[in-house]
Amino acid sequence: MDLRTRISADGLTADWLLGGMQLAVDDGLETAITLSLFTDRLADAGDVLPAGSEHRRGWWGDSFAEFDGDLIGSRLWLLAREKQLPVVLQRARDYARESLRWLVDDGIARNVEADAQFVGLGVLALTVTVERAVAGPVRFRFEIFWGTENAV
């Protein structure tokens, strides 16, 4: 069980939700998927960092991972200053699938699919479908807002 976490519309902050007078809990996969997608994973050595940045980000705890190369989060943050192009959609799909692969590796899901599409000027939508190992499929949709400088 996780504390229910929601990402802000601009994708820059997250907050725990209240359930009455206490923190709400998530006994499904929503919070795990949210944190996997919107926590910044360490950029690979060959990744092109957003303009003006030299920081590869990542979570400090990855330095102490139980398994070598086990990284938390996604590289979606690398797309923050990209144009709305088909190649960016493919990278978004790839980054989302990469960040959620642990669900299959850990036996929580049989399969995880991610789709990406531009749904407006500066808005990327991700749809994640998880085929759970012991229950039916579940689908989540997230919309990430970019600045309009990323428009076509």
Give one DSSP letter per residue of the chain, joined into a string: -EE-EEE-TTSS-EEEPEETTEE-EE-SSHHHHHHHHHSBPPPPTTPPPPTT-------GGGGG-SSTT---SBSGGGGTT--S-HHHHHHHHHHHHHHHHHHHHTTSEEEEEEEEEEEETTEEEEEEEEEESSS-EEEEEEEEE--GGG--
Confidence of residue 24 (pLDDT cuts 50, 70, 90): low
Q: Mean of the per-residue pLDDT values for the chain? A: 83
pTM reported for the whole predicted model: 0.80
Structural domain spans, the chain: 2-49+58-150
pLDDT at 74: 94
In sequence order, the 6+-apart residues with CB closer than 8 A to the CB of 53 are none
The CA distance from 81 to 14, in Å, is 20
Is the pLDDT at 78 greater than 50? The verdict is yes
Q: What is the pLDDT of residues 84-111, one digit of tens each?
A: 999 999 999 999 999 999 999 989 899 9
Distance from C-alpha of 61 to C-alpha of 80, rounded to nearest angstrom: 24
Class level of CATH domain 2-49+58-150: alpha beta
